[in-house]
Amino acid sequence: MVSNTLTLLASELYINGEWKKSKSEQTIEITSPYLYKGIGKVQAITQQEVDEAISFAQVAQKEWAQASLQQRASHLYKWADALLANKDEIATVIMLEVGKSLNDAKSEVSRTVDFIRYVVEEALHMHGESMRGDSFPGGSKSKVAIVERVPLGVVLAISPFNYPVNLAAAKLAPALMAGNAVIFKPATQGALSGTKMIEALHLAEFPKGLVNLVTGRGSEIGDYLVEHKGIDMISFTGGTDTGLHLAKKSAMIPLVLELGGKDPGIVRQDADLQEAAKQIISGAFSYSGQRCTAIKRVLVHDSVADELVDLLKREIDQLVVGSPVNGSTVVPLIDEQAADFVQGLIDDAIDKGAVVVTGNKRDRNLLHPTLLDHVKEDMRLAWEEPFGPALPIIRVSSDEQTIALANASEFGLQASIFTKDINKAFAIANQIEAGAVQINGRTERGPDHFPFIGVKKSGMGVQGIRKSIESMTREKVTVLNLSV
């Protein structure tokens, strides 16, 4: 647990298998979102050091690509074991740095251990295919194609603050198991946790230079990384604005973007309202709603709206609000700017006539879970991603109106449909423009072997263990011309 005499956490660059301070001699102070004081510093890398890291990665990758799958597997298993052995320490840093409750932080580390191990197992059973030439008209039996998957080279992995270990490893593990090298750029507010993850990786004795930790503000070093000619693939998770900017900067290389969301919780008139309320509140307010897959709007049929609102309020009243040290579900947001943004959305809705059912209370970065009823389309909260504990209720009168409102969003990550009519559920799901639709469950990424997709402004490409491995490889065909 955190002692009162907090020892400052120091993070260094990890380049070519060595920890080092940046030659920039500049550091970025990390402030805890709930202690409101500095807890550590991360290095601000220079462009020259980025060049060096990428050069080391290119050299290491050539040899790593020749390593057997079993050799690669042995290193990833050691990494997973080291994460597990240091779970409590890593979880404490996650809590300090991003304000996640200790239990949620420990779960994040455990989930990451499971994720890495599953990546290995999946990769060990991903075989290519062979094709006969004579299956095509005029083709010859003497031609046989062997189709394999080969690594892309150097993967730039850029991760967000809210899962500083899990969403980073979700990129590094498939990249490495597929035979790539990695340049890892964590969110600055998350870089201390990312450093702890790399410390565990270091214990797995990967070849020097294969994995490099580069830290620094994305606004300062991000473009240089993204445009670097030594990068062969970019896997990005973060906000839509950042993703759009990055996509315009990147060259003609494979790109996977997992971005923002405005996932609707759709409640039909025939839904099990008690269960829907439980799922919606869990989906909307876990980790203060700082999840891309959080339920961020409720589209409820008029005829059951009053009853649902009462049930939602009862669920909210049971939420533990406060410090992550106390295991709270609703914790202080990542920083003051984030809290100001969410409060701005709440104020705008109230100014335009929304009704506060509960919440609209703030203590610095801590916003109490806020439920706003009678939210209309002219209110920003109807459309913008709060990434915080503010949930709008939008009343609808038909499935058609529900689908139209759901699809009018610029986002398309996930959606939840609560109904007892499975035919209606599929009929609506088939028309929702989203990567995934949950029927009678909250929106969420897991389990992690499921494909995880964002469409429209929620992303491009697919994650999920097998899909991530595929996205970090390409097919290569070897044609045998036999003399038969």
Catalytic residue IDs = 258, 292
Q: Tell me how far apart the alpha carbons of residues 427 and 421 are, in angstroms, rounded to a whole number.
A: 10
The answer to whether residues 12 and 44 touch, using CB atoms and an 8 Å cutoff, is no
The answer to whether residues 448 and 170 touch, using CB atoms and an 8 Å cutoff, is yes
Residue 163 engages ligand G3P in binding (rule: CB under 6 A): yes
Residue 239 engages ligand NAP in binding (rule: CB under 6 A): yes
Residues 398-432 as b/e (b if ≥16 CB within 10 A, e otherwise) read: ebeebbebbeebebbbbbbbbbeeeeebeebbeeb
Give burial (CB, 10 Å; 0-12/13-18/19+) of 71.
exposed
Q: Which amino acid is at 155?
A: V
Binding residue (CB under 6 A) for ligand G3P from 18, 446, 476, 478: 446
- Packing angle, helices 302-317 and 273-285, rounded to 10: 60
Q: Which amino acid is at 316?
A: I
Q: How far is the CB of 411 from ligand G3P (least distance, A)?
A: 13
Candidate segments 225-233, 290-298, 401-409, 417-425, binder of ligand G3P by CB under 6 A? 290-298
Q: Tell me how far apart the alpha carbons of residues 288 and 192 are, in angstroms, rounded to a whole number.
A: 21
Residue 213 engages ligand NAP in binding (rule: CB under 6 A): no
Binding residue (CB under 6 A) for ligand NAP from 14, 56, 184, 387: 387
Choose from ligand NAP, ligand G3P, none: what does 446 bind? Cβ within 5-8 Å by kind. ligand G3P
Binding residue (CB under 6 A) for ligand G3P from 162, 240, 370, 419: 162
Task: Report 332-351 residues binding ligand NAP (CB under 6 A).
Answer: none
Choose from ligand G3P, ligand NAP, none: what does 174 bind? Cβ within 5-8 Å by kind. none
Residue 444 engages ligand G3P in binding (rule: CB under 6 A): yes
Residues 267-285 as b/e (b if ≥16 CB within 10 A, e otherwise) read: bbbebebeebbbbbbbbbb
Task: Report 134-193 residues binding ligand NAP (CB under 6 A).
Answer: 158-162, 167, 185-188
**Residue closer to ligand NAP (CB basis): 223 or 272:** 223
Binding residue (CB under 6 A) for ligand NAP from 238, 264, 289, 412: 238
Residues 336-366 as b/e (b if ≥16 CB within 10 A, e otherwise) read: eebbebbbebbebbbeeebeebbbbebeebb
Q: Which amino acid is at 232?
A: D
Q: Which residues pair with 237 in a beta bridge?
A: 258
Pattern of binders to ligand NAP over 404-443, x per CB under 6 A? ----------------------------------------
Rg of the chain (C-alpha set): 24
* CA angle (129, 479, 473) in 5-degree steps: 50
Q: Tell me how far apart the alpha carbons of residues 23 and 126 are, in angstroms, rounded to a whole number.
A: 42
Candidate segments 65-73, 226-234, 288-296, 430-438, binder of ligand G3P by CB under 6 A? 288-296
Choose from ligand NAP, ligand G3P, none: what does 239 bind? Cβ within 5-8 Å by kind. ligand NAP
Candidate segments 133-141, 241-249, 370-378, 395-403, binder of ligand NAP by CB under 6 A? 241-249
Q: How far is the CB of 116 from ligand NAP (least distance, A)?
A: 18
**Residue closer to ligand NAP (CB basis): 419 or 471:** 471
Residue 21 engages ligand NAP in binding (rule: CB under 6 A): no
Structure tokens at 392: 């709008």
Classify 62 in phi/psi space as left (phi over 0), alpha (psi -120 to 50) or beta: alpha
CA dihedral for 140, 144, 147, 150, sign (positive or negative): negative
**Residue closer to ligand G3P (CB basis): 167 or 183:** 167
**Residue closer to ligand NAP (CB basis): 292 or 472:** 292
Binding footprint of ligand NAP, residue count (CB under 6 A): 31
As a whole number of Å, the end-to-end CA separation of the chain is 71
**Residue closer to ligand NAP (CB basis): 246 or 255:** 246
**Residue closer to ligand G3P (CB basis): 113 or 231:** 113
Q: Which helix (H) or strand (E) holds 130?
A: strand 129-132
Residue 289 engages ligand NAP in binding (rule: CB under 6 A): no
Q: Tell me how far apart the alpha carbons of residues 217 and 392 are, in angstroms, rounded to a whole number.
A: 33
**Residue closer to ligand NAP (CB basis): 240 or 329:** 240
Q: How far is the CB of 157 from ligand NAP (least distance, A)?
A: 10
Residue 100 engages ligand G3P in binding (rule: CB under 6 A): no
Residues 34-68 as b/e (b if ≥16 CB within 10 A, e otherwise) read: bbeeebbbbbbbbeebbebbbbbbbbbbeebeeee
Q: Tell me how far apart the alpha carbons of residues 18 and 21 are, in angstroms, rounded to a whole number.
A: 10
Residue 11 engages ligand NAP in binding (rule: CB under 6 A): no
Binding footprint of ligand G3P, residue count (CB under 6 A): 9
Residue 293 engages ligand G3P in binding (rule: CB under 6 A): yes
Q: Tell me how far apart the alpha carbons of residues 66 and 273 are, in angstroms, rounded to a whole number.
A: 56
Candidate segments 62-70, 337-345, 393-401, 442-450, binder of ligand G3P by CB under 6 A? 442-450
**Residue closer to ligand NAP (CB basis): 162 or 358:** 162
For ligand G3P, the binding residues (CB under 6 A) are 162-163, 167, 291-293, 444-446
Which residues of the shown chain bind ligand NAP in the complex (CB under 6 A)?
158-162, 167, 185-188, 217-219, 222-223, 226, 237-239, 242, 245-246, 258-261, 292, 385, 387, 454, 459
